[in-house]
Amino acid sequence: MTKRASLIIKHFEKLGIYLNEEEEKKLKDTCLVNVGEYTCWVVNFFNNNPKFCVNKNWFQADSRQKPSINPRALDGPSNFEIYLIPFEEKLYFLHYIELREYAFKLEKNRDDWFNETWWTAEINSETDEFKWFGNEKYFPLKLFSLENLRKLPDVDDKELTEDKKYSSSTVVRRIRDTKVSKEIKVMYNYTCQICQESLKLDDVNYYAEAHHLKPLGGEHEGPDVKENIICVCPNHHVLLDNFALPLDLEKMDVHPDHNLSLEFINYNNKKVQETKRVKSDR
Ligand SMILES: [Zn+2]
């Protein structure tokens, strides 16, 4: 495990990416590392049996789950977005959405494969491609670089448009964050702006949720901008999603760099009033 991590560190340094002590330790202990906004996981490619971790839930309609590694073997959450694949002298990477597409294109013994968590692959480093073991069709692998990472499709945007199809009567819980949502959570250090609570997952990870005051989907059509987003704990998120919590800017924690819009605070408060009225009419 350490050997793999050291190799990644060497590859990174060649690309001008330097990890601090804490990040290096995390990589060595768990084979997970954050690059930019992505959590990356190092694939075991040091024997002749290279394996990709495949999430079975991907093959159910509408599933958006990220792949995860056996949590018992690791500390803390182990979901990741990018596969880092050191192979011979090269470092490849693969976004999980791409991998999911390729997994659907498996030609042989599909049913058998779908029961496995790990899918074995064969890499051709001359053509920079891989195929699933025993299958014939090759899929492209990209060389890891910050530039190539930036070119990744914006999964969040794509999913957002799809989320808009949900009916307005359903409260849609977005497990997956938009890019802006992530920035807000980082700005607040994963601390709830309403109660100042932050949930500790382990020594390094905290948990919070991002709430769009004027929701993105349905009848609301709110924008995905920082002015419309707040960082909250799960309890306050449920109340806000149900328009059950009026907000008072004065009583909230607002970061000086966060120009939270009064327009959206008022939108929430107006909806809270309307929701109350509907309930008392019954
Ligand atoms: Zn809270």
In this structure, the answer to whether residues 227 and 99 fall within a common structural domain is: no
Distance in Å, CA 208 to ligand 1 centroid: 9
Calculate how far, in angstroms, residue 246's C-alpha sits from the geometric centre of ligand 1: 13
- Among the candidates 150, 184, 204, a domain finishes at 150
Residues 28 and 53 in one domain: yes
Are residue 118 and residue 230 in the same domain, yes or no? Answer: no
State in Å: Cα 76 to ligand 1 middle: 22
Mean pLDDT of 92-104: 87
Inside any domain, residue 160: no
Domain for residue 162, yes or no? no
Q: Over the stretch 203-256, which tens digit does the pLDDT of each residue have? A: 778 888 999 999 886 678 889 899 999 999 989 998 998 899 999 999 999 999
**Polymer length of the chain:** 282
Asked if residue 146 and residue 13 are part of one domain, the reply reads: yes
How many A from CA of 280 to the centre of ligand 1?
26
Cα(193) to centroid(ligand 1), Å: 7
Residues 82 and 47 occupy one common structural domain: yes
Q: What's residue 153's pLDDT?
A: 63
48 Cα: distance to centroid of ligand 1 (angstroms) = 49
pLDDT in tens, 2-39: 778 888 999 999 888 888 898 898 888 888 888 877 88
**Do 263 and 192 belong to one domain?**
yes
Query: What was the pLDDT predicted at 175?
Result: 45
What SS3 state is found at 53?
A: strand
pLDDT tens per residue across span 150-159? 777 655 444 4
- Residues 105, 175, single domain; the answer is no
Residues 85 and 199 in one domain: no
Cα torsion 163, 61, 97, 45: sign: positive
Single residue among 105, 123, 150 that ends a domain in this structure:
150
Q: Give the pair of three-digit tokens for residue 19.
A: 């990890």
Percentage with pLDDT > 70 across the chain: 83
Dihedral-angle region of residue 36 (phi above 0 means left; psi in -120 to 50 means alpha; beta otherwise): left
| 233 CA → ligand 1 middle, Å | 4
Q: How remote is the CA of residue 254 from the centroid of ligand 1, in Å?
A: 14
Residues 103, 208, single domain; the answer is no
| Residue 91, in any domain of the structure | yes
Q: 104 and 63, same structural domain? A: yes
Residue 156 lies in a domain: no
How far, in Å, from the CA of 51 to the mean position of ligand 1? 41
Q: Is residue 158, in this structure, part of any structural domain at all? A: no
Q: Are residues 131 and 52 in the same domain?
A: yes
- Residues 114 and 24 occupy one common structural domain: yes
Q: Is residue 155 part of a domain?
A: no
What's the confidence (pLDDT) of residue 176?
55
Angle at 208 between CA 202 and CA 214, to 5 degrees: 170
Domain limit, last residue, from 93, 115, 150: 150
Alpha-carbon distance of 237 to 217, in angstroms, equals 16
State which residues form the domain around 90: 2-150
Distance, in Å, from the CA atom of 23 to the CA atom of 33, rounded to the nearest integer, reads: 7
Distance 241 CA to ligand 1 centre (A): 13
55, two tokens: 């999430």
* Domain total in the chain: 2
190 Cα–ligand 1 center, Å = 11
